[in-house]
Structure 1
Amino acid sequence: MEQTLSIMFIEDDIVEKMKFYKTLSILNMGHEIIEANNGEHALEILSENDSLPDLILLDLSMPKMNGLEFLEVLKSNEFWKYIPTIILTTSSNHRDILTSYNIGMAGYFTKPLRFEDYVEKIKRVVSYWSFAELIEN
């Protein structure tokens, strides 16, 4: 059965945020969204809350602490390392993909240029994780 997810969305670009929320609205997905502007902000949110998100959608190119730096901290933490983390970025750099998998992310997706393709990717990613067996917080 599909479950409602708590999704941490880590993105600094306002246009990408608007695109993400518009996509959720179009798809009529009622998941709880926890928004962070960069890796440092996301770590603050994780540290301050007792409950953890079910899924993290993470951009790589961000100020202060980029996505790879955040992923390293996340996956080295005993409590946070099991949170499925999906990279959602414009980078198709092979080194970024390899590094992300080596650190322990659950998936890597490049943001498509066409909005319709973006909607389809978000639909598939979020739908998959809403049916997956997740570790309870």
Structure 2
Amino acid sequence: MVISRPILLVEDNPDDELLTLRAFKRSNIRNPIWIARDGAEAIQVLSEADSLPGLILLDVKLPKMDGLEVLKYIRAQERMQLLPVVMLTSSSEEQDIIESYQLGANSYVRKPVDFDQFIDAVSQVGLYWLLVNETLPGV
């Protein structure tokens, strides 16, 4: 039996949240979606969860605590340090890209502005990390 692990979407923009959920639905990605709307809430969700998500989609620019701080926290926790984290953000700042990879992001995807391109990009990210990519056993 395949266990459908949740996806943690950390996104403060309600429109981008809705588009991401729509992209997953169009791609028949049926994993449960946990949503955190700021960095502090993301850490709370991860800290209180009995099981960990199979994928974290993390925005860089977040209120309370930015995505880079959240990523740093995740990589410092032994039980979370190998979780796949994709930075899904509108930021194209070179420093954000560099720091994301330095802190251990698995991927950096800039959100397209065009609706159809956004849906396509999120669908591809979800399908790759949930279906194509081989995860570590027990993670």
Q: Same fold (TM over 0.5)?
A: yes
Q: Is there any run of 5+ residues in structure 1 with no aligned partner, and where?
A: none
User: Which residues of structure 2 form unaligned runs of 5+?
Assistant: none
Corresponding residue of 1:103: 103
Give the whole-Å Cα distance in 2 for the aligned partners of 1:29 and 1:72.
Answer: 28
Q: Deviations over 1:88-131 (max 9, x none)?
A: 10100111000000000000011001111111111211111122
Could you tell me how far 1:28 is from its partner in structure 2? Answer: 2.3
CA RMSD of aligned residues (A): 1.5
Q: How does 1:6-21 map to 2 (within 5 A)?
A: 6-21=6-21
Q: One-letter code of the match for 2:37?
A: N
Other-structure match for 1:133: 134
Deviation at 1:19, TM superposition (A): 1.0
Using the size of structure 1 for normalisation, the TM-score is: 0.93
d(CA) in 1 for partners of 2:79, 2:92: 29
TM-score between the two structures when normalised by the length of structure 2: 0.91
CA distance in 2, matches of 1:4, 1:52: 11
8 A contact 2:38–2:66 mirrored in 1:
yes
Identity, in percent, stands at: 34
Q: Which residue of 2 aligns with 1:80?
A: 80
**2:115 corresponding residue in structure 1:** 115
SS at match of 1:99: helix
2-structure distance, mates of 1:112, 1:134? 27
2:9 and 2:58 in contact (8 A); partners too = yes
